[in-house]
Amino acid sequence: MAGESLDTLLPEIRACRLCEPSLPLGANPVLRAGATARILIVGQAPGTKVHETGIPWNDPSGDRLRTWLDLDRAAFYDETRIAIAPMGFCYPGRDPRGGDLPPRPECAPLWHPRLLAALPKLQLILLVGSHAQKYYLGRRRGKRMADTVAAWRDHHPPYWPLPHPSWRNTAWIGRNPWFESDVLPALRARVHALLDDADARA
């Protein structure tokens, strides 16, 4: 599918109903992408607020992620520079044990290869959370999230693993102060360098 146009691919993804029988709120694929995007953010799956609004990362986790990247909402949602594609495009439902269910397993294998092929200018792929890291890094990821995130240089370019910015990971961040002191400054520098270069070439 190399060279497939986003003009035809994105409507096809947004019309997908493959998993709808398993989705408690129905299908509503949420993603953003432009052919000139330099950065792709691969998250987990939409929550209920994102499902309702159709805007990815439109929740407190998104606020924290934007702080991590040092981006305001306008820059974050500029799809000519930043694409956003979770592992599952639709809200998967609530886990009885707490939190949301994992992304539907059918979604990423079906759509991600075609989407990446239609984004030829990507130079940085943020793998936010364990589901994205498992899919994209496979056996190269560490035994623990901390191992994978600390070894970001082993995966970049193009991948950059990050913990999920959910409030549930606040304790993890507290136990791993090197994430905020060492990883985030390097990440922000890389993100802004790519965006500045894109602006210079526009």
Confidence category of residue 1, pLDDT binned at 50, 70, 90: very low
pLDDT tens string 35-55:
999 999 999 999 999 999 999
Residue reference for tokens 């990362």: 57
What would the two tokens of residue 163 be?
């913990």
Q: What is the pLDDT of residues 123-153, one digit of tens each?
A: 999 999 999 999 999 999 999 999 999 999 9
In the chain, % helix, strand, coil (3-state, to 5) comes to 50, 10, 45
- Is the pTM above the cut of 0.85? yes
Domains, the chain:
6-201 (3.40.470.10)
Q: Does the pLDDT of residue 75 top 90, yes or no?
A: yes
**Residue-wise pLDDT tens digits, 15-28:** 999 999 999 999 99
Rounded to an integer, what distance in angstroms lies between the CA atom of residue 129 and that of residue 87? 10
123-70-137 Cα angle (round to 5)? 40
The CA distance from 115 to 38, in Å, is: 13
